[in-house]
Structure 1
Amino acid sequence: MGRIKFNRVLFLMVLQIFLVATTTGDETCESDRKMEEQCRLHNYKTVKPLLDYFRQVRNEIEQSETKEKQISELNSDLMEKYHEIVRIHETFVKEAALLNEYKNKVIKGENDLQLCQIKVDKSESEINSLKEQLTDKSTNLENCQVQLKSVNSSLIEKDENIKRFSEIIKNKTEHQKTLELELEKSKSILVKHEKDIQLCRSEINKLNTTSENIREEQKKIQLKLKESETKLIDKVKQNQLCQSELDKLSPTTCIPFGEDPGVHQLNVSGIGLFNVLCDSQLAGPGWIVIQQRVGGDESFDRDWATYRKGFGSFESDFFLGLEKIHRITSLQRFELYIHLVAQNGRTYNFRYDDFKISDEDNGYALSLGKFNGTIRDGMRYSENMKFSTFDHDNDKDNYANCAAWFESGWWYKYSSPCNLNAPYGPLLRWWDKSYKYIFNLKEVKMLIRPKKR
C-alpha cells in the first residue's frame, strides 16, 4: 500500500513538470514555426519515455485501485464471513448445550427404560408364575371334583359301615359289660382266695409248732395252697385276657392291633372315637402315624383350627391333629420315630425317646427327649416352642410370621432348620441345628408308639 501511494505522488509531480515543459515548448515553437517539426520530434523523444512510464504507472495505479477494491471487497466478505462464523459458533455452542441436555435426557430415559424393562420382566415372571399357579389350581380343582365324587360315594358306603359298626359296637359294649361283671367276680374270687391263702399260711404256722403227725396235715394244706395258687394264676390269666379284650374294645394306641396295619379306631379320653393309621412295616408293630408326606397335593398352609383338628387323607398326605396328638401323648410316655427319604432315594431313620406336646392353652409346645440316630439332630432347635400358623404367630421373630413366610404350620423359633410340613421344593430340607444343609426331601413320616419299660 505504501509503494502504491508513493507512485501516485511521483506521477503527479512528473505530470506537472510535463505540463510546464509542454507549455514552454509550445511557446518556443510558436516563435519559431520553422522549428516546429524539430520541436515535435524533440518533445516526442524527450517525453515518450516519460509517457510510457506514466502509462505503466497509470496501469499499475488502476490495477492497484482494482486490487484495493477487491481487497476491500474481500475484507468486507471476510468480515461478513467472520460475523457469520461467530453466529455459527454461537449457534453451535447453543446446539452443543442443547445436545448435552438432550444427551442427559436420553441417558435418563435409557435408565428409566431399563428400570421399566426390569419391572416388566418382573411383572412377566409374576404373571407366568400366577398362570402356572392358576393352571395347578385348575388341575387341583378338577382332582378335587373327582375326589369329591369319590368321597360322596365313599361317604354313602361309610354310612352303611357306620350303621354296621354301630351294631357291632353295641354288641361289643354288651359283651364288655359281661366281661366287666366276670372281671368283678374274678376279683372277688381272687380276694377270697387271697384270704384263704392267708388262713392257710396261718394254719401252716400253727402246724409248724405242733408235732410231726401234724406235718402230714401241713402237706395237705400245702397241696391245697398250690391248688389255690394254680387257680389264682388261672384267674390272673383270665383277668389279663379280659383286659386285652377290653383294650381291643377300647384301644388308646395301635399296640392291640399288632401286625395288622392300616386304619383302626382309637378311643381316647376327651376326644372319643377317631380313626388313625397304624404302621408295622417301618419299625415294628404298634406305631401311630401322626404326619405323612408322600408326594401328594395336600397343602400344609392351614389355619390354627385346621391343624388343631387334623386334615388330609390316610392314603396320601395328612396331619393327625394337634389336639389328638396331645391327648394320646398325655396318657403315657411315647417315643417319636421319623422316617425320611431324600431326593436321591436314600433313607434316614431316627428317634426321640420322650415325645409329647402340651395342651392348647400352652400352645401345643413341643417336647422331644433324647435323640438317637445316624444324622444330626435337626429338630432340637424347635424344642419347647409353641406351634405357629399364619393366624397364630407364636414364634420369637419380632419382624415376620415364620408360618406365613414358610407357608406351613410348625414349631418355629425364628425359623426352623427342619420344617417337615414345608411345601415340596427347596424349603422341604433336613438341616442340623447349626443350619448346615444336609439334603432335600421327597418323603416324610412321623410315627409314635408307647415307650417300652
Structure 2
Amino acid sequence: MVRIKFNGVLLLMVLQIFLVATTTGDETCESDRRLEEQCRFHNYKTVKPLLDYFRQVRNELDQSETKEKQISELNSDLMEKYHEIVRIHETFKKEADLLNEYKNKVINGENDLQLCQNKVDKSESEINSKQNIILKLEEQLSDKSTNIENCQVQLKSLNSSLIEKDENIKALNSRLIEKNENIKRLSENIKNNKEHQKTLELELEKSKSILVKHEKDIQLCRSENNKLNRTSENNREEQKKIQLKLNESETKLTDKVKENQLCQSELDKLTPTTCLPFGKYPGVHELIVSGIGLFNVLCDSQLAGPGWIVIQQRVGGNENFNRDWATYRKGFGSFKSDFFLGLEKLHRITSLQRFELYIHLAARNGSTYNARYDNFKISDEDNGYALSLGKFKGTIVDGIGYFENMKFTTFDHDNDKDDNVNCAAWYESGWWYKFCSNCHLNKIYEDLYWYHFSYISLKEVKMLIRPKEEMKI
C-alpha cells in the first residue's frame, strides 16, 4: 500500500510537469512554429523515462497480485484435500471394526461347529453301543427261546432310542449345514472387505500424488518469492506475509503427511504379517510387510501344526536354482512345485519378531525327518543376507548349523570363505556357503541329500517358518 501511494503521488507530479511544459511550449510556439516543434520534442524526451518507469511499476504490481491469488488458491486446495483424507481415515476405522466383527463371528461359528461335532461323535458312540447290545440279545435269542418276549421288549425300546438318536443326528446335521453356510457368507464378506481395502489403497495413492504436486507448487512459490527478494527492497513486508502463508501451507502439508501415515498404519492392521491368522486353512494367502507391501505366500498346517510360512520347497526338480543375486533377492518358482520365497522378503519378515525354522525332509527310501532351529533370522542386503539359526533339535543330526552367520552366495556374489572357488558356481545353486560342503538344500535336485556322518538321499525338502511366541510343541 505504501508503494502504491508513492507511485500515485509521483504520477501526479509528472503530469503537472508535463502540463506546465506544454503550456509554456504553446506560448512560445505562437511566435514561431519551428520553436514549437523543438519544444514538443524536448518535452517528450523529458517525460518518456518517467512514463517507462510507471509502466514497469504497474507490471510489478500486477505480478504481485497474481502471486497472491495463486497462493490463496493453493491454500483452498490444501484444505479440501485435508477434509478428504479425514473422511478416508474415518472410513478405514469403520471397515476395521466391521472386519473384527466378522472375524469374531467366524470364531464363534467354528466353536459351534466343534460342539456339534462332539455331539455327533457322542451319538455315534451311543448308537454303536446300542447295536452291540442288540447283537448280544440276538445271540441270546438263538440260545434261549424262553426269553424271546423279554428280548422283543428290549429290542423295541432300543429301536425307539435309535430312532430318537437318528432324529438328533439329523437335527445336528441340519445345524452343521447352517453353520457351513454362515461360514461361507462370512468368507465372502471378508473377500469383499479385501476388495474394498484395495480400493482404499488406490485412493490413498492418489492423495499421495496430490500431496507431491502441492509440494512442487510450494517449491515454485518459493522460487518466485526469491525472485521478488532480488528485485526490490520495498517488497519485504509483502514477502514476509507470503512467507508466513508458505509456512502455514507447509504445516498443513506436514499434518496431511502424518494423517496419510496413520491411514497406512491402519491399512496395514487389516492384513496379517504371518500365516497364524489363517489357522487350519492352508494354501496361498496374502500378507503385508513393511518395506515390501502386499505379496502372496504358501501357508502350511499339515507338517508341524498351523500357521507356518513355506519359504523354500523342493518336491520334483522342476525349477532351476542356479540363479543370480537379483533373482534370489526377489524370489522365484511356483507354489505348486519348487520355489524360493526371496531373501528380501525373508529379511523383512524375520525382522518383525523372533521366528522358528522347521525343515521337513523326505528320504528316497520312504523315511521322513525334521530339523528345528529356534531363532531363524536373515540380515539385510548390506550385510549379505547373513543366516542366523539358533538352537537345534530334531529327529536327525544337525546338518546346516555349520552355516551359522554366513552370508548368502550366488555365482555373481561370492561371499563364501573358500579362496579357490565360488561355491555357488561350483554347485550351480545359491546358498549360505562357508566352504564348499555338501549339505545345502538348493543344489541340483537329483543330487539333493542331507549329510553329517552319512548321506541321506532326499526326494522332498520344505523349509517353513513361524513366530516363536505362538509355537505349540
TM-score, normalisation: structure 2: 0.44
- Select the structure with the greater relative contact order (CA < 8 A; seq sep ≥ 6): 2
TM-score, normalisation: structure 1: 0.46
